[in-house]
Amino acid sequence: MSGPMTAQTARRFNLAGGAITLVTVICAVIWAFPIYWGIISSLKPEDEVVRPVIELWPETLTFDHYWFALTETQIGSWYLNSIVTALGVTFITVTTSMFAGYAISQLRFPGRTALWWLILASFMVPTQVLIINHFVLMANMGLLNSWAGIILPQLIHPVIIIVYKQFFDQVPRDFREAAVMDNASEWRILFKVYVPMNWGVTTALSIVTFIWAWNAFLWPFLAVTKTEMMTITVGITQVWDAFGVYYARQLSAAVLAGFPVALAYLLFQRRVTQAITLSAGIKG
């Protein structure tokens, strides 16, 4: 049975491997093509974009649309708004979820189980269902067209609490007991033992939350009506004028909007994949 591999079986394996590689490459191309198409279209003059043929490379290469997006729109403010709100959402969500996860995992208090079920249940409610409530609430609080108004309703991410709880659950009981014997308060146990022992989770969750917040469209679109308060995802819908839609212009703005996230992906590739796997395990 375990004799040496003959040349024939080796070739068959190679063939199978080759076929799999080919399929993967085709899939990758299918996935990547829209991005490629978006980028080259943003580099074509407008009349070339609307031509009814598939041209994989622009006849005339132009950066006019990027120039337009950068000079004729308020893209600077949009970037700033996106950065502030995305960082705000990330920082507040990750910190509060860390506290909640720790409390549910490590502390014993009345109502703990009920709270945990509530968090699990809130996970089943899509944000879209609550969006009218959020809008009315923010309007009553006078927070529309403000950073706080964009940030507050985006802070609900039960999945992050769940991930934190699971990681804190897995820390062996000895560490907590050693810290208790060492006279550490709950704050010190959390910040000096549990969080440092799970740095990987915190970075991964921060990156993934940042990407969610950066890409958020529906809520910022509703919460903001003033052009200068828009986030970049909302702002790119504004790159049109009285003469109608300019595809190349829109695409160039979209490329600019996606650029920081793409950069984050490239820099933290491994962490991002880890974070997606972490939360996907729960998101199902």
Partner 1 sequence: MAEITLDTVSKSFGAVKVIDDISLTVAAGEFVVFLGPSGSGKSTLLRMIAGLETIDSGRLEIGGRESQNLAPGQRNVAMVFQNYALYPHMSVRENMAFGLRNIRMAPDEITRRVEEAARILEMDALLDRRPAQLSGGQRQRVAIGRAIVKEPAAFLFDEPLSNLDAALRVRTRVELAELHQRMQSTMIYVTHDQTEAMTMADRIVVLNDCRIEQIGTPMEVYTAPATRFVAGFIGSPAMNFLPVQIEGSAAVLADGARVPLTVAPEGAAELGIRPEAVQVVGPDEAVVTGEARVVEHLGDRTLIYAVLPGGAEIIAQDGGRSTVAPGDAVPLRFDTSQLHLFDAAGRALPAA
* Candidates 34-42, 90-98, 189-197, 273-281; binding stretch for partner 1 (CB under 8 A): 189-197
Least Å from the CB of residue 122 to partner 1: 32
CA-wise closest residue to 228 among 74, 99, 102, 85: 74
Interface residue with partner 1 among 53, 54, 183, 242 (CB under 8 A) is 183
Question: Is 182 near partner 1 (CB under 8 A)?
Answer: yes
Question: Which C-beta is closer to partner 1: that of 179 or that of 224?
Answer: 179
* Candidates 6-14, 41-49, 179-187, 207-215; binding stretch for partner 1 (CB under 8 A): 179-187
Residue 74: phi, psi to the nearest 5?
Answer: -95, 35
Structure token pair of residue 170: 């897995």
Question: Which C-beta is closer to partner 1: that of 2 or that of 183?
Answer: 183
Question: Is 72 near partner 1 (CB under 8 A)?
Answer: no
Helix spans in the chain (H): 7-42, 46-49, 64-72, 75-106, 112-122, 127-140, 147-151, 158-170, 173-181, 186-188, 195-197, 199-215, 218-223, 232-235, 247-267, 269-283
User: Do residues 104 and 165 touch, judged by C-beta distance below 8 A?
Assistant: yes
Question: Is 212 near partner 1 (CB under 8 A)?
Answer: no
* Cβ contacts of 284 within 8 Å, gap of 6 or more: none
Interface residue with partner 1 among 155, 197, 264, 276 (CB under 8 A) is 197
Interface residue with partner 1 among 115, 155, 184, 264 (CB under 8 A) is 184
* Candidates 4-12, 126-134, 182-190, 218-226; binding stretch for partner 1 (CB under 8 A): 182-190
Question: Is 79 near partner 1 (CB under 8 A)?
Answer: no
CA-wise closest residue to 276 among 159, 170, 198: 159
Provide the binding-site residues for partner 1, judged by CB under 8 A.
172, 174-175, 177-185, 188, 192-193, 196-197, 199
